[in-house]
Amino acid sequence: MMEISSLPISASHRSKLLSAGYTTLSSLSAVSPLQLSRDLNVALQEAVDILKVSSESCRVEVQDGDVEFCKGAQTAWDMLSEEQALRHISTGSGDLDSIFGGGIHCKEVTEIGGVPGIGKTQLGIQLAINVQIPYDFGGLGGKAIYIDTEGSFMAERAYQIAEASIWDTFDNFGCQPKEIPEKLKPESFLANIFYFRICSYTEQIALINYLEQFLVEHKDVKIVIIDSVTFHFRQDFDDLAIRTRVLGGMSLKLMNLAKKFSLSVVLMNQVTTKFTEGSFHLTLALGDSWSHSCTNRVILYWNGNDRHAYLDKSPYLRPASVHFSVTGKGIRDATSQCKRVRMM
Partner 1 sequence: MASIPPKPENPLHLHTTKLTLGCPILDSFLGGGIPCGSITELVGESSAGKTQLCLQLLLSSLLPPSLGGLSSPSLYIYSEPPFPLRRLLRLSLPSLPPCPLDHVFVRLSTHPDDLLSLLSHLPDSLPVRLIVIDSIAALFRSEFDNTPRDLKSRSSLFFKISTKLKDRARKLGAAVVVTNHVVDVVEAECGGARCLWSSGRRVVPALGLAWSHCVNTRVFLTRSEGMSRSSNGEECEVRTRRMHVVFSPCLPERSCEFAIVGHGVLGVG
Provide the binding-site residues for partner 1, judged by CB under 8 A: 115-117, 121-122, 145-146, 150-158, 187, 190-191, 193-197, 199-200, 203, 206-207, 210, 213-214, 230-232, 234-236, 270-273, 275, 280, 282, 301-302, 305, 326-328, 340, 343-344
- Residue 199 CB, shortest distance to partner 1, in Å, is 5
Which is it for strands 221-227 and 279-284: parallel, antiparallel or unpaired? unpaired
Cis omega (within 30 of 0) for bond into 228: yes
- Residue 247 CB, shortest distance to partner 1, in Å, is 15
Three-state DSSP class for 52?
A: helix
CB closer to partner 1, 271 vs 298:
271
CB closer to partner 1, 40 vs 271:
271
- Residue 231 CB, shortest distance to partner 1, in Å, is 7
d(CA 79, CA 281): 40
Three-state DSSP class for 269?
A: strand
CB closer to partner 1, 173 vs 231:
231
**DSSP labels, 74-105:** --HHHHHHHHHHS--B--S-HHHHHHTTSSBP
- Residue 272 CB, shortest distance to partner 1, in Å, is 6
CB closer to partner 1, 22 vs 189:
189
Residues 145 and 217: beta-carbon distance below 8 Å: no
How would you classify residue 285: left for phi > 0, otherwise alpha for psi between -120 and 50, otherwise beta? Answer: beta
CB closer to partner 1, 21 vs 328:
328
- Residue 259 CB, shortest distance to partner 1, in Å, is 23
First to last CA, the chain: 56
